[in-house]
Structure 1
Amino acid sequence: MNLSEQTLLISGISGFIGLRTAELAIARGMKVCGLARSAEKAKKAQKLGAEIIVGSVTDPAIASKACQGVDIVLHTAGISQESGSLKHFREVNVGGTVTMAKAAKSAGVKIFTHISSAMVYGFNYPDRVTENGPLRGENNPLCQTKIEAEEALLQLHAPPDFEIIIIRPGDVYGPRSIPWIVRPLHMMHQKLFALVNDGQGVSNHVYIDNLIDAIFLAIEKEAYGEIFNITDGQNTSWKEYFTRLAKIADLPVPLSLPKEEAKLFIRVREQGQKLFRKKPDLVPETVDFLSRPYAYSIAKAQRILNYEPKIDLEEGMRRTREWLRNTDIKTELNS
């Protein structure tokens, strides 16, 4: 499929993945429209030339309106934080995904590409785990609802009229990434960031533009009904990742804490913040995310899509450093 002149709807267009996808899609000659939670958050996408509809992915009327006249839907909207209410996660990550997919199907949209997460494998998985799993909910709302959303979505797959593609990204970093760039740097500046078990866990990093390349490849190659793990294909330790991150911000390498000590510290801090009615900036579950021991396999994407990450970690960090020079981290964290 030739993507130029196709109309692409991006749910969550004001988010990290959605906004950069809009920018690169417009550069490829695509017509881009987007669904955003608020007009304020959508201003950057509007400046790029995207048409915006304001509303929630859980609202059937809004979803139906957004899908009219669209060729492809890229569903990026969802909750991706480490913890929270399972009910709320399920409402957005499962209910919102199904609502958008049903609206797209009813509107005659041919292709629905869903941004899931490699967190469907949980925290304990085989080395180089493939798209065949196993999948593990881990009693974590993010892991669990990403699994449920995929299962519900695949039931709507109805070739050749309505085709589903599912992308499972790893740890997406780059300019504007809250979990892997902005928040860690903010914590480092406050001297509150520490490596877990000397950073021995594996970072399944993927630079934002590499991820978007994979998304476009999957659509171009009409890989319908398929699921793909997408990372940079490296076996990078969190120690190396965060050492590089500290370096581009001219900060010292973070100290290390054993896993259980790190969790205890975060629990105490979390309770203190709640006592003063502040939203916790870290949760104990973060430690589990930083303790994953293995890399995910991207062999399927390499074989079927000819996917090869173009931007390595050194170049990705260099681009991120350029962005940081003109960015206030605290403002970005609260945007």
Structure 2
Amino acid sequence: MARAVVTGAGGFIGDAVVHELRRRGDDVVPIDVRRGPGIVMADVTRPGDWEKLLVGADLVVHAAAVGTGGELAAVRAGTPSRPAVVDEGELRRVTVAGTVRVLEACERAGVGRVVHVSCVSVLGSSFPDLVDETAPVTVTGLPRADALAAAEHTAIAAAARGVPVTVLRAGDAYGPRAGRWTLWPLLLLRAGRFVLVDSGRGVLSPVHIDDLVCAVIAVAEAGEAVGEILHVTGGESVSAADFFGRYARMAGVPEPSSVPAAVLRAVDTADRVLTGHGWLSGRVSSRLHPRTHIDLGPLALAELVRTGTYSIAKSRRILGWQPGVSLDEGMARTEVLLRERGLLGVQEPARRG
């Protein structure tokens, strides 16, 4: 029996990893700042007793994050609360400084393997189709993407000094608990506020949570993966119009309308001037009239106007991993679970202000 520690265990990805490791019979210690069944409450950005839990761990999966919309907040009276607006300083403290502290603690504890969960958004929105892991990561101007990129740099630096860490860049992860790519778009579609950008021509790279978890396990077991950056997507590219249109059909609502990207950029820019900040996710303004009618949820505009997808050839070669859940199958699984849990019937997010 292996011993594993998972940070961010209350989130969408962390929770799924915990469940799979336990299904395999591993002894799992889930850590999160939020309360939850069996979760060890700890803030991994600060020194604490949680560091002792890493001693003797065969595997640490670092999935802790903040301000990403990775899971839907608590639903009360049928109304989900909005993702919290996190300032850039807090975003970097958790994403970057937290990663530094976790990796340093792993190094001191002599952890066997570390999987650092990142995201393909570090590459921005403009890159060659089937871009691979050798592509340079540059500043995008998006706080979340740039914080994730900085965290990756700390992971690679740790690998250079001997920490057995692998960076796993997840594609557009969806599933019945996925806030960014499932629940928020679905709820906003039902409210009639979600829109396609530029007719939904942007290219998405979805990966079902089951495939993503399998890739995490494969990374943990592949010695060749140490020190590497690996893309993990479902191996299929799809237009935003096709992807979100599937949710509209699940919910029995009209296909979303389209708004030019230039209009959304202008609205968000105006909001930044008026308020001193915009939503870190790149969403359109909450202060201007269009915001009462259109909403991208926690998704960044840059994520919806990509022109290419990501190569997973390296993951296939090094891990022997292959995505096994097609988009059709993944959406079917997602719909079944959403219906079982009554989430297709959850009322739309409330509008305040």
TM-score range, shorter chain: 0.7 to 0.9
Greater shift, 148-157 or 107-116, is seen at 148-157
Percent identity between matched residues is: 32
Deviation of residue 306 (structure 1)?
A: 2.0
1:19 to 15, 24, 45: 15
Moved over 6 A (4+): 266-269, 331-334
Say whether residues 1:60 and 2:47 are aligned partners.
yes
Pick aligned residue for 1:301 from 286, 293, 315: 315
Give the alignment partner of residue 122 of structure 2, picking from 102, 108, 120: 120
Q: Structure 1 residues 217, 112: CA separation in 2 closer, same or farther (over 3 Å shift)?
A: same
* SS of alignment partner, residue 116 of structure 1: strand
CA distance in 1, matches of 2:64, 2:348: 19
Task: Report 1:228-243 matches (<5 A).
Answer: 228-243=230-245
User: 2:144 maps to what in 1?
Assistant: 142
The answer for the alignment partner of 1:170 in structure 2 is 171
Provide the aligned length of Structure 1 versus Structure 2: 316
> What CA distance in whole angstroms lies between the structure 2 residues aligned with 1:332 and 1:118?
29
Return the offset for 1:324.
Answer: 1.3
**Of residues 242, 267, 272 in structure 1, which corresponds to 2:287?**
272
The partner residue of 2:61 within 74, 90, 95 is: 74
- Determine the C-alpha separation between the residues in 2 that align with 1:332 and 1:64: 40
Higher relative contact order (Cα pairs below 8 Å, separated by 6+ residues): 2
Aligned letter for 2:329? Answer: E
Task: Please say if residues 91 and 144 of structure 2, whose CA atoms lie closer than 8 Å, have aligned partners that are also in contact.
Answer: yes
- Residue 311 of structure 1 pairs with residue 325 of structure 2: yes
Question: What TM-score comes out, normalization by structure 1 length?
Answer: 0.87
Shift of 1:328: 3.3
Task: Tell me which residue corresponds to 1:100.
Answer: 102
Cα distance 1:158–1:99, how it changes in 2: closer, same or farther (>3 A)? same
Give the drift of 1:271: 3.7
CA 111–285 in structure 1, closer or farther in 2 if over 3 Å, else same: closer
Q: Which runs of 5+ in 1 are unaligned?
A: 47-51
The 3 A distance-change label for structure 1 pair 110 and 284 is closer
TM-score in terms of structure 2 length: 0.82
Using the TM superposition, give the Cα deviation of residue 119 of structure 1 relative to its aligned residue in structure 2, in angstroms.
1.3
Residues 123, 289 of structure 1: 8 Å contact kept: yes
Q: Distance in 1 between matches of 2:237 and 2:95?
A: 29
The 3-state SS of whatever aligns with 2:153 is helix
Deviation (angstroms), 1:38: 2.3
Alpha-carbon distance change, 295 to 312 in structure 1, aligned in 2, over 3 angstroms:
same
1:216-268 Cα shifts (integer Å, max 9, x gaps):
11221222111100101112111110111211222221111111223456667
Deviation at 1:284, TM superposition (A): 9.7
Deviation at 1:209, TM superposition (A): 0.7
8 Å contact from structure 1 (residues 118, 229) kept in 2: yes
Counterparts of 2:228 and 2:141, CA distance in 1: 26
Which of 135, 152, 155 aligns to 1:153? It is 155
1:198-213 mapped onto 2 (5 Å cutoff): 198-213=199-214
- In 2, Cα distance between equivalents of 1:157 and 1:305: 18
1:287 is matched with which residue? 301
| Structure 2 unmatched ranges of 5 or more | 70-84, 272-283
Q: 1:115 is paired with a residue of what secondary structure? A: strand
Contact 1:63 1:100 in 2 (8 A): no
Q: 1: CA distance between counterparts of 2:349 and 2:315?
A: 32
Change (3 A) 1:331 1:176: farther
Question: Which segment is superposed worse, 107-116 or 58-67?
Answer: 58-67
